[in-house]
Amino acid sequence: MSKELAKTYDPKGLEDRLYQKWLDSGYFHAKVNKAKKPFTIVMPPPNVTGQLHMGHALDETMQDILIRFKRMQGYEALWQPGTDHAAIATEVKVINKLKEQGIDKNEIGREEFLKHAWAWKEEYGGKIINQLKKLGASADWERERFTMDEGCSKAVQEVFIRLYNKGYIYKGSRIINWCPVCQTSISDAEVEHEDQDGFFWHINYPVVGEEGKFVEIATTRPETLLGDTAVAVNPEDDRYKDLVGKMLKLPLTDREIPVIADAYVDKEFGTGCVKITPAHDPNDFEVGKRHNLEEINILNDDATINDLGGKYAGMDRYEARKAMVKDLEDLGLLVKVVPHNHSVGTHDRCGTTVEPMIKPQWFVKMDEMAKAAIDTLKDGDLQFVPERFDKTYLHWLENIRDWCISRQLWWGHRIPAYYCDDCGETVVAKEMPKICPKCGKNHFHQDEDTLDTWFSSALWPFSTLGWPDNTEEMEYFYPTDVLVTGYDIIFFWVIRMVFSALEQTGKAPFHHVLIHGLVRDSQGRKMSKSLGNGIDPLEVIDKYGADALRLTLMTGNAPGNDMRFYWERVESSRNFANKVWNASRFIMMNLEKAEVPASMDLSELTAADKWILCKFNDVAKDVTDNMEKFELGIAVQKVYDFIWEEFCDWYIEMVKPRLYNDEDTTKAAALWTLKTVLGGALKLLHPYMPFITEEIYCTLDPEEESIMIASWPEWKTEWDFKQDEKDVEMIKEAVRSIRGVRTEMNVPPSKKATVYVVAEDASVRETFEKGKVFFATLASASEVLVQTDKSGIAEDAVSAVIPQAVIYIPFAELVDIEKEIQRLEKEEGRLEKELARVNGMLSNERFISKAPQAKIDEEKGKLEKYTQMMEQVKERLAQLR
């Protein structure tokens, strides 16, 4: 063998080199290939402003595992990557960068600002992509897209025009969420509700013409009083029936407002009288529409009070609140102030409290498209893993409001709407019209607003494949197979992709949505900048390697559940990598010294060889089943246990005597088995730990180009050695028992002792005769004697009881008889409990009538086993006593 594995495993040296090899070989690139079945994943596009965090690392690792698995299974596997222009986040970054240079966005104008934004994108936009490569992401970088590239922009324009022409997009004055800091509207999905400590201010509104009579209202936002246009009571509320229709003097203003009756008011809440501010509350807006109330906006875009605010004009909203509360108190109209914890909407980008405001904006009508998105889940075309997220999806769609899609930003897709300067006609088109269809004039200006970022990323599964053009990629790779995303993004993105895809392509954009949880810190807290508990994946990679990070993120991972990050777990993942590396080096050193046949007549294998092949065969089948069901955490645990325990701790130890003995005629079989099973195990591990498996696999067999394009292991009938597996498991059980006895008695491994195996059954004795060789290496045996009874065994021998046999070890000089009696008494107690449990189950009529036959048979088998073991323990105790 020409190539050797380095003495110690150092991920730093090999990860970048291997990633470059994969890139140069074009292994990540998927082509339209009708001879193969396609398998497609679209990468949730990280923000172009983004920096890799643990959530990304988990998300991308899961996608990479699936894509590598499917690639090895022989699919044409496309992992479509790209980045999102992240309108608000990017605009803020660019504005701040310009500020540092003393440049004001508004002074340089839109065109100049956009030049700076594109330059910023070119300089910093690729950062997160390079970080994903460090993680080992095998995405098709040749197909990398950006939500504002030419193709995606064309798709966005096409969808806007189509929806407008269909009547699904309209411009209207409605209540929207306004961020006073970012100075833009934001959608409901971008508002985070957090509980804040505030107050209920109880205020008296005087009844006009009735001296000394008041209506008491309670509000959490006294400053919005300036925009009140009514006070509402419930029509069923007897307390206020005589007030309906009367006028109230609105404090701090010269206006009068009516008392109206509306079922929206909850009689039990507060005073039962509610101030109605249609321009600053979504519910009040609806009440206002029903009663034809005036809509008075009292705020400027920066949340200062506007000119309608009289003496409070120009004050910040909270400054005005203080001043107004003081004035109400001076007028004797402030009844009381009650502490009140309530939910406040904040902008998820900057944390500012949002203001509901009436503004003319562009909206998408949601009712019809939401229905289609509900039906596709109910029809089974779309499936969530785990299924419990169906509820979240349906709840959101069933309560959806029209979607506000315009943003008061410059960075983004500009709305393709043009207004005639002469008659005000609106024309929605791909480019500025030459002539107004209404008045025939030719002066137009384009709408200043851009589209919500989510409008473009909603088209991602098909816009990235060339839609609206009828490309061969679109035909072959769409719909995609699985979307992998966190549960915190179902509303924002998943739902929008589903209804957009159904509307534009007639198909759901993916068959499965695999939902993962959040990566929390070791105390279970969400990682955040404010807590300073975030862990940089690149730091973990630098310290322990990408493979160790990936394995850590997947160990114990269950769909939809949060996980905790512990540095100790990364260390144990790195220890596992070391174990695999060292075992591989040991195997290769032995392969170097001998001729290993390319193929092997299976009849020449020993029971141990057949046992490990059978074990590998079963694990390959189980792991494939788990991965097909997206149980990635369960799958990797099985691979881990197989490699560490069965292969390294048992099989390699079992075959050492054969490897060290050149006269052993089964040495070639041992080497062939070692090489075969190691190669197969590396393939199963590859999707999870791509780098280390690639390095070992190509060193193990220099003829192999890459493990990435090797075929995935499949279950083989000819490796189904069930009898040999049973025999070796019996020997393992005996070895474990001997080890247990020795450990309990603190016998050092160097101390060899004779092992007697007593079994009545001839086939059991034969198994032990064949397996004698293992006891020397695995159980510190000087010799092994297999017999039918206890003749010739010293009275003071220590015993270990296993099903179908008893093991005796005569180390009289080491044994404390009292201690041995205690140990056997403990075993007797354990067996008594087991027998009581089994007998209890088998005498329970409900269990017998309801349990499957297989379960009943299993319990009967246990009864037989425990009874036999109990007899042997009692017999042994009687001897010692």
Which positions make up the binding site for ATP? 529
Q: What are the CB-based long-range contacts (under 8 Å, 24+) for 589-596?
A: 590/659, 590/671, 590/674, 591/1, 591/671, 591/674, 591/675, 591/700, 592/1, 594/667, 594/668, 594/671, 595/668, 596/668, 596/671, 596/672, 596/675
Query: Could you give the angle at which helices 54-72 and 546-554 cross, rounded to 10 degrees?
Result: 90
Distance of CA 519 to the CA centre of its chain: 8
- Residues contacting residue 224 through CB under 8 Å, at least 6 positions apart: 275, 277, 280, 281, 298
357: left (phi > 0), else alpha (psi -120 to 50), else beta?
Answer: beta
- Residues contacting residue 192 through CB under 8 Å, at least 6 positions apart: 345, 346, 347, 348
Residue 820 tokens read as 């041995």
| Preceding omega of 468 cis (within 30 degrees of 0) | yes
The three-class DSSP label of residue 364 is strand
Longest alpha-carbon distance in the chain: 118
- Least Cα distance to 404 among 360, 374, 367 occurs for 360
CB 633 within 8 Å of CB 687: no
Burial profile 284-320: b = 16 or more Cβ within 10 angstroms, e = fewer? bbebbeeeebebbbbbeeebbbbeebeebeebebeeb
Show binding-site residues.
529
d(CA 832, CA 870): 8
d(CA 304, CA 323): 13
- Least Cα distance to 680 among 601, 613, 587 occurs for 613
Q: What separation in angstroms does the CA of 474 have from each of 184, 344, 507, 850?
A: 35, 43, 12, 52
Beta bridge partners of 428: 417
Q: Please, how many CA atoms are within 13 Å of residue 152, restricted to the half-sphere of its CB?
A: 24
Read off the DSSP letter of residue 348: T
* Phi, then psi, of 258 in degrees rounded to 5: -85, 160
DSSP string, 367-380: HHHHHHHHHHHHTT
Strands (E) in 393-461, as ranges, are 403-404, 406-407, 417-420, 426-428, 444-446, 450-451
Q: Three-class SS string for 466-524? A: CCCCCCHHHHHHCCEEEEEEEHHHHHHHHHHHHHHHHHHHCCCCEEEEEEECCEECCCC
The three-class DSSP label of residue 757 is strand
Query: Angle at Cα 182 formed by Cα 179 and Cα 183, nearest 5°?
Result: 70
Beta bridge partners of 838: none
The three-class DSSP label of residue 404 is strand
279: left (phi > 0), else alpha (psi -120 to 50), else beta?
Answer: alpha
d(CA 82, CA 72): 24
d(CA 679, CA 665): 23
- Residues contacting residue 142 through CB under 8 Å, at least 6 positions apart: 26, 28, 29
- Residues contacting residue 571 through CB under 8 Å, at least 6 positions apart: 544
Read off the DSSP letter of residue 644: I
